[in-house]
């Protein structure tokens, strides 16, 4: 792969071999018009013969474009963030960008800032922050001037473009589904307060209950983990008036199913349980879980589009115009109810 002398070949080497100037090589590489087909072929042959690769640093230095986007994410082992990251990466590559990632271990205003600074150090052209927590979003509003930025699942933030799944709508749909089955009301196992997704799901659930004139029980707080769902499930099992539970994610729903099962409660005959996320396993829980499907790859695609738009606009107009768009850019991806066997019409318990 490398040239004879040991160092990897540069444009001048290719030029020499093809008998042209280095600039002609550059033109071929960048697809400029006005290069004679024969010359182009000769250059191509030389490139292949030497195994030449353009030096991206040199290119970036002069074009002032690194073609790198940064992604800040939190706990990629959770199904949602992992799927979103995957969608982002694919979309970025299609748009001609590389993706550099930073995963946070703790979420604080400081650590998000630090991650963004770190990515800035690498001269990324823009960042996507998968920031489902309130703290993370707040930390973004201060920085937003610096360089293009998009928040995923970011909540409402002035002047900060956001892509998110319609948590409220999804939660409303599940709750309405359960009410439609004849349940007097629906209990809710919520996610942590700081998580915007958790709050959106609480809101949708509450709205549906209010609209139906159903009593609104206090939501129980878990931490997304199956364990917390299990613990809350044990408490739910003790209250015989509960007939329907909407759990804020599938992992906790699994814990709830387990706890209710251990208590000898039959699902869905005695208690209906629904989740949120539609993880691949949900269909094979005992019983198969009614849940809400989110189109994460669409989220990834849309957030890249928003980010690339910002970058292009800035590149075209020059970075002078600071606060050109104060409009509240917010791209909401719909969620879809998936009904399975864990929910059923109300029966006596």
Partner DNA sequence: GCCTCGTTTGTTAGCGCTAACAATGTAGCT
Partner DNA sequence: AGCTACATTGTTAGCGCTAACAAACGAGGC
Q: How far is the CB of 76 from its own copies (least distance, A)?
A: 5
CA distance 207 to 291: 18
Whose CA is closest to 335, among 178, 200, 222? 200
Q: How far is the CB of 121 from DNA (least distance, A)?
A: 11
DSSP summary character for residue 51 = T
Q: Does the protein bind DNA through residue 23 (CB under 7 A)? A: yes
Q: How far is the CB of 6 from DNA (least distance, A)?
A: 11
Q: Which is nearer to its own copies, 87 or 200 (CB)?
A: 87
Could you give the strand order of the β-sheet that contains 220-221, starting from the edge strand earlier in sequence?
Answer: 220-221, 187-190, 244-247, 272-274
Cα-based distances in Å from 57 to 66, 238, 308? 8, 64, 21
33 binds, among its own copies, DNA, none (CB under 5 to 8 A by kind): DNA
Q: Candidates 41, 45, 61, 315: give the one binding its own copies (CB under 8 A).
A: 61
Looking at the chain, list the stretches that DSSP marks H as alpha helix, in order from N- to C-terminal side.
11-18, 22-29, 37-50, 56-63, 79-94, 109-121, 134-143, 167-180, 196-212, 226-237, 250-262, 296-317
**Segment contacting its own copies (CB under 8 A): 169-177, 239-247, 276-284, 307-315?**
276-284
Q: Does the protein bind its own copies through residue 286 (CB under 8 A)? A: yes
Q: Which is nearer to DNA, 5 or 77 (CB)?
A: 5
- Which residues, in sequence order, are bridge partners of residue 165? 333
Per-position x/- string for 29-68, each x denoting binding to DNA as judged by CB under 7 A, each - no binding: xx--xxxx-xx--------------xx--xx-xxx-----
What radius of gyration do the chain's Cα atoms show?
Answer: 26
Sorted by sequence, the CB contacts under 8 Å of residue 216 that are 6+ apart come out as 185, 206, 209, 210
Sorted by sequence, the CB contacts under 8 Å of residue 169 that are 6+ apart come out as 204, 334, 335
Q: Does the protein bind its own copies through residue 257 (CB under 8 A)? A: yes
Asked if 149 and 159 touch (Cβ cutoff 8 Å), the reply is no
Whose CA is closest to 202, among 212, 213, 214, 192? 192
Per-position x/- string for 71-110, each x denoting binding to its own copies as judged by CB under 8 A, each - no binding: ----xxx-x--xx-xx--xx--x----xxxxxx-x-----
**Segment contacting its own copies (CB under 8 A): 18-26, 116-124, 193-201, 323-331?**
116-124
1 binds, among DNA, its own copies, none (CB under 5 to 8 A by kind): its own copies
Helices (H) and strands (E) in the chain, counts: 12, 12
Q: How far is the CB of 303 from its own copies (least distance, A)?
A: 16
Q: How far is the CB of 36 from DNA (least distance, A)?
A: 4
12 binds, among DNA, its own copies, none (CB under 5 to 8 A by kind): DNA
Q: Does the protein bind its own copies through residue 53 (CB under 8 A)? A: yes
Binding interface with DNA (CB under 7 A) = 7, 10-12, 19-24, 26-27, 29-30, 33-36, 38-39, 54-55, 58-59, 61-63
């Amino acid at each position: 792969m490398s040239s004879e002398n040991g160092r990897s070949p540069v444009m001048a080497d290719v030029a020499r071999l093809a008998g042209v100037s280095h600039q002609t090589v550059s033109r071929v590489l960048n697809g400029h018009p006005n290069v004679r087909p024969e010359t182009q072929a000769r250059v191509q042959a030389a490139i292949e013969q030497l195994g030449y690769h353009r030096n991206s640093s040199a290119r970036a230095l002069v074009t002032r474009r690194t073609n790198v986007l940064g992604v800040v994410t939190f706990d990629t082992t959770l199904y949602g963030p992992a799927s979103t990251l995957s969608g982002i990466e694919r979309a970025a590559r299609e748009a001609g960008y590389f993706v550099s990632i930073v995963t946070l271990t703790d979420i604080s205003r400081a650590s998000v800032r630090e991650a963004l600074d770190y990515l800035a150090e690498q001269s990324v052209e823009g960042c996507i922050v998968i920031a489902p927590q309130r703290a993370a979003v707040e930390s973004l509003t201060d920085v937003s001037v610096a360089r293009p930025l998009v928040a995923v699942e970011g909540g409402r933030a002035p002047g900060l473009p956001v892509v998110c799944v319609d948590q409220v709508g999804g939660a409303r749909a599940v709750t309405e589904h359960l009410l439609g089955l004849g349940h007097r009301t629906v209990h809710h196992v919520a996610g942590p307060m700081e998580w915007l997704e958790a709050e959106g799901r609480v809101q949708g659930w509450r709205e549906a209950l209010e609209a139906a004139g159903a009593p609104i029980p206090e939501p129980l707080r878990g931490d997304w983990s199956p364990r917390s769902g299990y613990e809350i499930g044990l408490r739910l099992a003790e209250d015989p008036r509960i007939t329907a539970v909407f759990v804020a994610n599938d992992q906790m729903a699994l814990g709830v199913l387990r706890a209710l099962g251990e208590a000898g409660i039959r699902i869905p005959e005695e208690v209906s349980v629904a989740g949120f996320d539609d993880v691949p396993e949900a269909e094979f829980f005992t019983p198969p879980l009614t849940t809400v499907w989110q189109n994460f790859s669409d989220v990834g695609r849309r957030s890249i589009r928003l980010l690339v738009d910002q970058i292009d606009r800035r590149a075209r107009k020059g970075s002078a115009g600071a606060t050109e768009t104060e409009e509240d850019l917010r791209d909401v991806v719909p969620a879809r109810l998936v009904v399975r066997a864990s929910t059923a019409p109300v029966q006596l318990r």
